[in-house]
Structure 1
């Protein structure tokens, strides 16, 4: 952590850290967006990029907190909901995955 303290000791160091974090987070989010139509962890990669941005930017930290709350709320709804809620949720998820698979197959053809 000593190197981090030295970087934050000057104004130019803090600015440089913000630029590097912004570039890395944006790059990771861009990779996640590219992977969205393909079968794979696109959303997880996007959330990882947002977590990188949240290390330095308050707006990203708030957005990540909001996203976590919504995800927990949705999982609680599915877990504690009625069978109808579970069936509709799983059906919607299967539709999204099927559409992503269909789009990815069309992109490869």
Structure 2
């Protein structure tokens, strides 16, 4: 049975966790749109055509690269740099198995880190937060000083000395 026939019957194909072999078919609740069904059907239609497959790979590769590049540029700045890099990785994971595996590895380790931090006492969490804040402040200071020639610390000390 093809993916299109499964989608018409309200079923979806789920790949196994290791990415090998064929997926199992899971029946969705009657009367409901299959989860991510339209996107999956669209991707299957594109992959069914050799030209569509190439266009999809190129589009996913370029879009993912742009998002990852923006995320990498934003990492030294305060904000969601790593989150944007992970979003670019998720875009790549639509079409590339290596990106899917790397994304799963990242998710697993972020979950582990989050659970570990959640088990720690309040003083340890405060220390981790302070170290993280100091790291971000140092990155911002270094970015401003070496990219724009603005030494924020020196200016702050000069201001305090004159006022």
Range into which the TM-score falls when normalised by the shorter chain: 0.7 to 0.9
Count of aligned positions: 109
Return the match for 1:9 from 35, 43, 48. Answer: 48
Runs of 4+ aligned structure 1 residues displaced above 6 Å come to: none
Match of 1:23 in 2: 62
User: Which structure shows the bigger proportion of residues in strand conformation?
Assistant: 2
| TM-score, structure 1 as length reference | 0.86
Unaligned runs of 5+ in 2: 1-37, 151-163
Larger Rg: 2
- Higher RCO (CA < 8 A, seq sep 6+): 1
Alpha carbons 2:75, 2:81 under 8 Å: kept: yes
* Residue 5 of structure 1, CA deviation: 4.2
**What do you get for the CA RMSD once the two structures are aligned?**
1.8
| TM-score, structure 2 as length reference | 0.60
- Say yes or no: does 1:33 pair with 2:67: no
Return the match for 1:42 from 61, 72, 81. Answer: 81
More moved, 2-11 vs 93-102: 2-11
Unaligned runs of 5+ in 1: none
